[in-house]
Amino acid sequence: MSVDPSIVRSVPLPIGIDLVATVLFSITGAMVAIRRHYDAVGMFVLAMACGLGGGLLRDGLFIQAGPPAAMRDSSYMFAVLAGCVLAILLFKHVERLSKPFLIIDALATGAYGVVGASKAFEAGLAVPACIFVGVVNAVGSGLIRDVLVREEPLMLRPGQYYFIASVAGVTAFAVLAKFLHGPLVPSALVAIAVTFVIRLLAIFFDWKTHAIRSVMPQPPSD
């Protein structure tokens, strides 16, 4: 099932949502760099990988409609720089508590998922493909961040509904914008809220997925 591009183009998704997501993910990358005692160059590179990584995967692998948006608009680099500055200013407060970092990550994940799905809509991809691209856009930056710092990717570990929240938010956006023909911006805000609320509930109530092996029948002991 393909998407009618006019539904999306009638109310363009503001670039501000993409830039806000870029700033938020850049903050998470810069904070990881500060925590690991990287220098200024290392911090900017990791912030850039986090802030732009999901979008580069989206535009380079799936959309393929010319150079990625981050390479055509200098606003994205300024967004990364803003993320670095905010990370430096906020680090003392966030480092004392782990939850603010996860909250920033949850907001960024929701926003980036919506941006990815919206751009896939514009490219005329089928609905399942739009959802897939949105999820890749949402979790790709965190995946790149974890790989660069040699950590097991958060997306692959049992944890607090990281992937599930992203899928739920992007699916909500697809349903509202495509099937219910809702206005794009309100649909986007609702979808971001869905991702954010699911992640927030998982964080505060410690809802977690479980390793497959933990629910498998255990072999009899000798």
Binned average pLDDT, 10 residues per bin, the chain of 222 residues? 43 78 92 94 95 89 84 93 94 70 83 91 89 91 88 78 90 91 89 93 84 75 60
Among 41, 110, 39, 51, residue whose Cα is nearest residue 80: 51
Structure tokens at 175: 């349903």
Helix H or strand E segment including 67: none
3-state DSSP assignment of residue 37: coil
Ordered DSSP codes for 118-181 = HHHHHTT-BHHHHHHHHHHHHHHHHHHHHHHTT---GGGSS-SSHHHHHHHHHHHHHIIIIIS-
- The owner of tokens 């959802």 is 131
Helix H or strand E segment including 76: helix 75-95
Using CA atoms, how far apart are residues 80 and 44, in angstroms rounded to an integer? 8
SS3 content of the chain, % helix, strand, coil (to 5): 75, 0, 25
Q: Residue 2 pairs with which residues in a beta bridge?
A: 126
Structure tokens at 122: 């514009």
- The owner of tokens 């751009």 is 119
The confidence score (pLDDT) of residue 104 equals 81
The confidence score (pLDDT) of residue 89 equals 92
Listed by start position, the domains of the chain span: 5-207
CA dist 168 to 23, 35, 63, 112, 143, Å?
Answer: 23, 31, 22, 13, 19
Among 104, 128, 140, residue whose Cα is nearest residue 179: 128
The confidence score (pLDDT) of residue 221 equals 64
Among 142, 5, 20, residue whose Cα is nearest residue 63: 5
Using CA atoms, how far apart are residues 93 and 59, in angstroms rounded to an integer? 35
- pTM of the predicted model, to two decimals? 0.81
